[in-house]
Amino acid sequence: MLAYDPASNPLNNNEWAFPLTECFHIGAMAFSIGTIVLVDLRLMGLGLRRRTAAQLLADSELWTLGGLMVAITTGLLIFSTDPKAYVRNEVFLFKMTALVAAIVYNYTIHRGVVTGVASGFTRTLVAGASVVLWCSIVFAGIFTAFI
Amino acid sequence: MSPADFFQAIRDSWLATSVRESALLYPIILSLHLTSIAVFGGMILMTDLRLLGWALNTTPAAEVIRQLRVWKRLGFVVMVTCGILLAASKATDYYANPYFQIKITLLLLVGVHALVFRRGVYGNPETLDSAPAMPRVAKVAACLSLVLWLGIMSAGRWIAYYEKPRESQSTRTAGAAKYS
């Protein structure tokens, strides 16, 4: 097996590389979570009310997907700077679990309710769960560094 | 009172000390700061992209600007409140940090941006939709907004990586220079 030494990782050897990667991670987070919450607000009857939630989803989903892809790519780069510490960090493991759950939820249940016909109560509940799920990932991201 | 005394007093205040010394309070406030960046920063980005014609194109620009205004204001208040608490807890380090100074300057420029483009863009957004094409002034406003906010976000991240020059070393260098 090839041995991997994080000390050889360019992200650990360049003054600018790591913070710049983090900036892309945060920017991509704003694109992905920002667009998802825009649809969630509409599901709750708030925000851009002159459009349907389905229209908003169709109008913003490419930015959501692009944001997620950049956030995951930069996340993997950040992970690569110290993989052993990350896999031992319980908050990080929670973050990864919540992330997988949130992505699956977003493209199955959430999408189904946005494009289908559900009661106002169901729509609010599904939107609320979405907001809580995505925000918990942000919290876990910060707490990974503080535990 | 010198600026150093002023920021020392802020750092020593009860609130700033609580934030700094609590194991939980600092990361919770930082998480709220980041969550508001995700939720409300996302709205700022989407508004800018709508003005540039790159996102939410079937939604009128006036709808995006008017209906998201209250949310962006709410988010701004949460973001800034958390930011002030975080900065106050390390006030003496922050005020001398060039990236913090850049961040504050850019935030002031956001205020200037809002004043400059209020009349032509944000205050009367219906004219943007009735125009045959998105007016250039709106696109300029959107580009500047993107540059300012992405700059603020980047400067904020870089604050954590600034190492202030060590005093002992600079004294030694100065001293060595003086006596050499």
How confident is the model at residue A1, as a pLDDT?
Answer: 56
- pLDDT surpassing 60 at residue B170: no
pLDDT score at A7 = 86
Q: Express each pLDDT in B8-30 by its tens digit.
A: 989 999 999 999 998 899 999 99
Cα–Cα distance for residue pair A39/B54, rounded to 1 Å = 17
Q: Count the Cβ atoms, other than its own, within 10 Å of residue B162.
A: 13
Place of tokens 């945060």: A26
Using one digit for the tens of pLDDT, what is the confidence trace for B27-85?
999 999 999 999 999 999 999 999 999 999 889 999 999 999 999 999 999 999 999 99
Of the partner residues A60, A135, A146, the one whose CB lies closest to the CB of residue B35: A135
Q: What is the CA radius of gyration of chain B?
A: 21
On the question of pLDDT at B174 being above 80, the answer is no
Instruction: Say yes or no: B57 contacts chain A, CB-CB below 8 A.
Output: yes
From chain A residues 90-109, the ones with a CB under 8 A of any chain B CB are none
Q: Do B45 and A50 touch (CB under 8 A)?
A: no
CB-CB: which of B27, B154, B161 is closest to A142? Answer: B27
Q: What are phi and psi of A23, to 5 degrees?
A: -60, -45
What digits encode the pLDDT tens for the residues B36-45?
A: 999 999 999 9
Nearest chain B Cα distance for residue A1, angstroms: 35
Domain residue spans of chain B: 3-179
**Closest CA of chain A from B73, distance in Å:** 13
Question: Given this model, what pLDDT does residue B175 score?
Answer: 41
Query: What are B91-103's pLDDT values in tens digits?
Result: 999 999 999 999 9
On chain A, the residues whose CB falls within 8 A of the CB of B27 are 142-143, 145-146
Name the nearest CA neighbour of A75 among A106, A99, A108, A107.
A99
DSSP A11: G
CB atoms within 10 A of CB A4: 11
Q: Rounded to the nearest 5°, which phi and psi values hold at A86?
A: -65, -45
Average pLDDT of the residues of chain B? 89
Listed by number, the residues of chain B in 115-174 with a beta carbon closer than 8 Å to a beta carbon of chain A are: 150, 153-154, 157-158, 160-161
Neighbours of A58 (CB within 10 A): 15
Report the b/e string of A107-138 with b at 16+ CB within 10 A: eeebeebbeeeeeeeebbebbeebbebbbbbb
- What's the pLDDT tens digit per position in A70-101? 999 999 999 999 999 999 999 999 999 999 99
Q: Any chain A CB within 8 A of the CB of B102?
A: no
pLDDT band at A118 (very low <50, low <70, confident <90, very high): confident
